[in-house]
Structures are given as structure tokens and as C-alpha cells.
Amino acid sequence: YNLGKLEFPPTWEVLCARSPDGRRLAFTKNWLAPNWQGYPLMWLDLAEPSQAHAVFLGADAEISRFAFSPGSKHLALIARETYASRLYLLDTGSGKLTKLIEQDSIYNLVWSPDGEYLGLTGASEERPDVPEVLVLSVNTGEILYRHAYDTGGEIPSDAPLRAWGVEFPSQPMSGLE
């Protein structure tokens, strides 16, 4: 498949997201696809698809989730690398990639409506068997809220995500669809 001059992997091998303003597209191969190792995260402005950008996290990095910020200027992405999950923030204008946090597992992410915070589910190295909900500041990477999460129930009543009006987590805790 091609998007302009850009070669696009077959749709069944791709994780893809479109920005809220509809102008940008990001994609990578999913971990079930053949030869996914070493495939970069690509992003582009749909008005200029021949000018695609790429970020390469390493041959063993598995990019499992990503989402554009509400303002469409940033892309948050979860990558599993060796024995840890890392949450990165990508500035789609400059291409600058910043690691926000690292922990044993990160499964899901969602942006706050104002784009100032990210909500996550995951597990820490100290308690890998206890799923958690975390909220962190995008500007500082500081974890502002952390609470155990009952995967069979609802998010905790004091979780900031309740005020965001989002269904969360939106994907199964295992990360598999």
C-alpha cells in the first residue's frame, strides 16, 4: 500500500491513529506483524504525505499504544523495551522525543481534555501483580495520582479521570484486543 510516495504496511499489520484536528497521521507495525522489530513510529501531515517523519526506539522496542493530544501537537506513546515499559512524549512539530516515565508495565493511555495530563493503567516493579491507574503531568512527568485498580470494577471514585468524561481503560488490561 502507498500513501502518496510513502510505503504503508498492510492494514492488518498496522497500529494507526489520526489527530483530533484530522491533519496528522501516525502509524507503526503491530507486534503480531512479521518483521515488526525495528520498524519506526512514523507520523506525517496529510497535506504533505511525502514528508513523513520517523522515530526509532531500537530493534527490541515494541510500540503498543499511542495517541495524539487534544491539540494534535503531541503524540504520547507506550513502548515495551527489554524489561520495562516507557511512556514517551513526541513533539510532532520539532520531532523531539522525551521519556516521561518508566515502570514495569504500561498498558493503556488517555489524554485529559485540556492536554495537560495523561491517564495510564499499568503495574510497578514493586507490585507487578497489582494493576494501577496513574495520572501524570505532561509538562513535568510527575505522577500526580496513583491508585490500585480493580480490573473487574470501575476506576476509583477519587481518580481525576472521572472528571475527564472518558471511558477508561478503553482496552483490555493485557493490551491484547
Q: pLDDT tens-digit profile of 99-136? A: 999 988 888 899 999 999 999 988 887 777 778 888 99
Taking residues 14-18, report their average pLDDT.
86
Cβ atoms of residues 4 and 17 within 8 Å = no
- For residue range 136-158, what is the model confidence (pLDDT) as tens digits? 999 999 999 888 876 665 666 77
155 residue type, one letter: I
Given this model, what pLDDT does residue 172 score? Answer: 42
Given this model, what pLDDT does residue 84 score? Answer: 86
Cβ atoms of residues 44 and 27 within 8 Å = no
Cα of first residue to Cα of last residue in the chain, in angstroms, is 24
Nearest to 77 by CA among 133, 20, 15: 15
Name the CA dihedral angle for 139, 111, 125, 26, rounded to a multiple of 10 degrees.
Answer: -100
Rg (C-alpha) for the chain, rounded Å, is 16
Residue 52 gets which letter from DSSP? Answer: -
Task: List, in sequence order, every residue forming a beta bridge with 112; answer none if it has no partner.
Answer: none
40 residue type, one letter: P
Between 76 and 49, whose confidence is greater? 76
Given this model, what pLDDT does residue 163 score? Answer: 73
Over the chain, what is the mean pLDDT? 80
Q: How confident is the model at residue 171 (pLDDT cuts 50, 70, 90)?
A: very low
pLDDT reading at 96 higher than 90: yes
Burial zone of 96 (CB within 10 Å; 0-12 exposed, 13-18 middle, 19+ buried): exposed
